[in-house]
Amino acid sequence: MRTITAELLTIGDEILYGQIVDTNSQWMSVALSNVGIKVIRKTTVGDLEEEILNAFAEAETRADIILITGGLGPTSDDITKPCLAKYFNCEVRIHEEALAEVTEFFKSRGRELTEINRQQAALPICCEKVTNKMGTAPGMWFERKGKVFVSMPGVPHEMKLMMTDIVVPKLQKTFQTPTIQHTVIRTVGIGESFLADKIQPWEQSLPPHFKLAYLPSLGEVRLRLTAMGENKDQLAAESNRLVEQLRPLAGEYIFGIGEDPLEVVLGNALCQKKLTLAVAESCTGGYLSHLITSAPGSSEYFLGGLVPYAYDIKMAQLGVNPETLNQFGAVSEETVIEMANLIRTKFNTDIGVATSGIAGPGGGTPEKPVGTVWIAYADKGKTQTRKLQLSKDRMINIRMTAIATLNLIRQNLPQ
């Protein structure tokens, strides 16, 4: 079977100047590789007609599919659309359906459609419109001599919805893509190299049509098991068997299979067990609550949280004993146990958790350097704590603490 290839072309001076990091192309790579399309090159060029036209022509000689992002805004520095019209040699005209969509978009936000926005509904007549549900600039799909060009906005959430809903399924239909089965095994609480050591025998015994990748991120390591073949059901059954063989080696770290992150998997478990949760977070400063409430439907089990950031607020609003704070400090096992129990009683929930630590960059001492964190879990029957020794980076420490706290809840869930 022939490999279907794609090139990703990003257009925008802001990326060449380094003012934004291009995260789109990584996301797109994953989305394409999930359906068996191989990305062979990524290119970024600036907002210059000659550069853009050259990049189109070069990409067309190499790949089956050319996916373009950026340069579709309403302002004069955005020239992707006129460049595409020139490249495909066709005129630009107001597209009635696109105009209706952009008009509706503005109407639903109670805002007037300006002439500059009206022009976003003008499209080269030789392309097919790709609806943009999240913004005003439609995407464009061009086909010529077996090659496909798709132009999408650079705004990540607009591009992602367009890819997922329209572009990827249409590419699968246009090109006969091979059958690929990805299984994502999600682990938490263990580092990449330790995990690799533990699962080495399993990894070495994988059949040749399976490939394993380690995808570490802050506090979590995902294992992606990729199978390529012809029969989807057979590949899925083989993958499931392999996951079961992995469990005896690393089961305690596996919190889920698939795309759901820890906060969603945990939320589902709380929902199913009809348990409620409240949090008292100091060093995480609201991020733990945010993570929990980023899951739709979290109001079923999350009753609320308190961010007692100031020392006085810990006493006045949460009721932490001044003596505990005096004797052991805010960052201590004793304080964090009190916090978890207090928030549980105060909010009348089944489970209470608490975080307290030195997120940095300031506030460290020789005994409690930046990155020192205590977390606690409390339910009716027990209390559990953990001490973390994290990094010097504030945002990393906040994220790692929140993930470790969710994991502590997971490990202690009443049966």
Choices 72-80, 81-89, 230-238, 375-383; region in contact with a copy of itself by CB under 8 A: 72-80
Chosen residue from 289, 324, 335, 407 binding a copy of itself by CB under 8 A? 289
DSSP state of 177: P
Q: Which of 377, 379, 338, 332 is nearest to 357 (CA)?
A: 332
Q: Which of 75, 74, 77, 86 is nearest to 149 (CA)?
A: 86
**Can you tell me whether residue 316 is helix, strand or coil?**
helix
Residue 21: CB minimum distance to a copy of itself, A: 5
**Can you tell me whether residue 91 is helix, strand or coil?**
coil
**Residue pointed to by tokens 């001599």:** 145
Chosen residue from 1, 30, 57, 236 binding a copy of itself by CB under 8 A? 30
Q: Does 287 bind a copy of itself (CB under 8 A)?
A: yes
Q: Which of residues 291-310 bind a copy of itself (CB under 8 A)?
A: 291-294, 296-299, 302-310
**Residues 96, 101, 102, 103: is their CA dihedral positive or negative?**
positive
Count of chain residues binding a copy of itself (CB under 8 A): 99
Residues 123, 129: contact at Cβ < 8 Å? yes
Residue 107: CB minimum distance to a copy of itself, A: 11
Q: Which of residues 86-145 bind a copy of itself (CB under 8 A)?
A: 108-110, 114, 116-117, 134
Residue 126: CB minimum distance to a copy of itself, A: 26
Q: How would you label 161-172 residue by residue, b for 16+ Cβ within 10 Å and e otherwise?
A: bbbeebbbeebe
x/- track of binding to a copy of itself for residues 252-281 (CB under 8 A): -----------------------------x
How far is residue 251 from each of residues 164, 182, 255, 342, measured CA to CA in Å? Answer: 31, 19, 8, 33
Q: Does 206 bind a copy of itself (CB under 8 A)?
A: no
**Would you say 10 or 332 has its CB closer to a copy of itself?**
10
Choices 7-15, 81-89, 90-98, 236-244; region in contact with a copy of itself by CB under 8 A: 7-15
Q: Does 226 bind a copy of itself (CB under 8 A)?
A: yes
Q: Which of 124, 138, 228, 136 is nearest to 183 (CA)?
A: 228
Residue 227 pairs in a beta bridge with: 181, 210
Q: Which of residues 227-256 bind a copy of itself (CB under 8 A)?
A: none
Choices 15-23, 80-88, 233-241, 319-327; region in contact with a copy of itself by CB under 8 A: 15-23
Residue 387: CB minimum distance to a copy of itself, A: 10
Peptide bond before 361: cis, by omega within 30 degrees of 0? yes
Residue 380: CB minimum distance to a copy of itself, A: 19
Residue 230: CB minimum distance to a copy of itself, A: 20
x/- track of binding to a copy of itself for residues 33-62 (CB under 8 A): x----xxxxxxxxx----x------x----
**Residue pointed to by tokens 């533990």:** 198
Measure the CA–CA gap between 205 and 236, rounded to whole angstroms. Answer: 18
Residues 6 or more apart whose Cβ sits within 8 Å of residue 309: 282, 285
Measure the CA–CA gap between 16 and 188, rounded to whole angstroms. Answer: 36
Q: Does 174 bind a copy of itself (CB under 8 A)?
A: no
